[in-house]
Amino acid sequence: MAIAYPVEASGATQRWRVGWRQIPLFPSLILLALVLTAVFAAFLAPHNPTEGNIMGKLVPPVWMQRGTWEHPLGTDRFGRDVLSRIIYGSQISLVVSLLVIGVSGTVGTLIGLIAGYRGGITDAILMRLTDIGLSLPTVLIAVVLVAVSEPSFGNVVLVISLLLWPRFARQIRGETLALKQQDFVALAVVAGRPSRWIISRHIFPNVVPTLLVICTLQVGYVILLEGSLSFLGVGVPPPQPAWGLMIAEGRGFLATAWWMSLFPGLAMLLTVLAVNLLGDWLRDRLDPKLRQV
């Protein structure tokens, strides 16, 4: 009678499992709070974010004189609750990031896979378009495009997606060029598999780790770019509670009502910092060279 003995996991597998258990606490908690706040904004916000009360304008935070628990972080010049606007602003930042990363990531990944695998004239044309996209001043072009069309949520997502896809295409193309030289791809070609099958079954699964790292690192950039557009008045239109718009509305009251700009600015700072820290950690975990170090 055969006796089955437990198989001990290899050292690499054990290190991988331990590594995933060492997720950085600070960025994880910040991002978890952001997601929960965005999802349950209707239950967490104490007031309507767009409804003002002119009699209660410029109320300071609760720990200051004249501050009340009704408005823990104070009110703005229209009497709107700052805390409620920050909570609903997390929805805008999260949705814009997800949509932009989804659209630009899909387009850029497809272009990178096709250019890297096909090579030749196809690669040359697609990469020259990518180089043009990377050379454009992102903020300036975004401001011009949104201003020419019309400031709206959809236009912001579309414009940022159009400017972000080259970042994905360039990196994925480099990964594809390296994978195309591997033996398993050569065997698939010898076996007569079509290019579409090889890309979907062999190339794409191996670029997914790189794609995850790019997506994570670009989330913070998207939030900053959306905030910059809103700050300049060509992003999400008022009275929507976008963080960049809130900072812009409070810049004229920094001496008397500093909380109007400070708290949404802190929310944006913590979110971008947490995303970047998590992206750096994810890159270290998914990059074999860095993992060996």
Q: Is 187 a domain residue?
A: yes
Average pLDDT over residues 197-208: 87
Higher-pLDDT residue of 223 and 17 is 223
Higher-pLDDT residue of 10 and 241 is 241
- Cα separation, 127 vs 6, whole angstroms: 51
Average pLDDT over residues 198-211: 87
Q: For residue 20, what pLDDT is reported? A: 53
- Specify the CATH number for the domain of residue 121: 1.10.3720.10
Q: Is 7 a domain residue?
A: no
Q: Is 100 a domain residue?
A: yes
- CB proximity list for 246: less than 8 A, separation 6 or greater: 76, 82, 85, 86, 89, 260, 261, 264
How many separate domains does the chain show? 1
Average pLDDT over residues 226-237: 84
| pLDDT level of residue 199 (50, 70, 90 thresholds) | confident
Q: Is 138 a domain residue?
A: yes
Q: Is 284 a domain residue?
A: no
DSSP bridge partners of 157 = none
- Give ∠ CA 273-279-282 in degrees, rounded to 5: 145
Model confidence pLDDT, tens digit, residues 117-155: 888 898 899 999 999 888 888 788 888 887 777 778 888
Range(s) of the domain holding residue 124: 34-42+59-258
Q: For residue 138, what pLDDT is reported? A: 79
Q: Is 155 a domain residue?
A: yes
- Cα separation, 142 vs 179, whole angstroms: 34
Residue 88 pLDDT more than 90? yes
Residue 12 pLDDT more than 50? no
DSSP-derived secondary structure letter, 86: H
Q: Is 253 a domain residue?
A: yes
- Cα separation, 49 vs 86, whole angstroms: 8
Q: For residue 287, what pLDDT is reported? A: 63
Residue 208 pLDDT more than 50? yes
Cα–Cα distances (Å) from 272 to 56, 90, 138, 204, 285, in that order, read 32, 12, 18, 28, 20
Q: Which two tokens stand for residue 14?
A: 């054990």
Residue 19 pLDDT more than 60? no
In three-state secondary structure terms, 51 is coil
Q: For residue 136, what pLDDT is reported? A: 82
Average pLDDT over residues 189-201: 84
Q: For residue 13, what pLDDT is reported? A: 43
- Cα separation, 81 vs 263, whole angstroms: 12
- Give ∠ CA 177-180-181 in degrees, rounded to 5: 100
Residue 86 pLDDT more than 90? yes
- Count CB neighbours of 136 within 10 A: 13
Q: Is 75 a domain residue?
A: yes
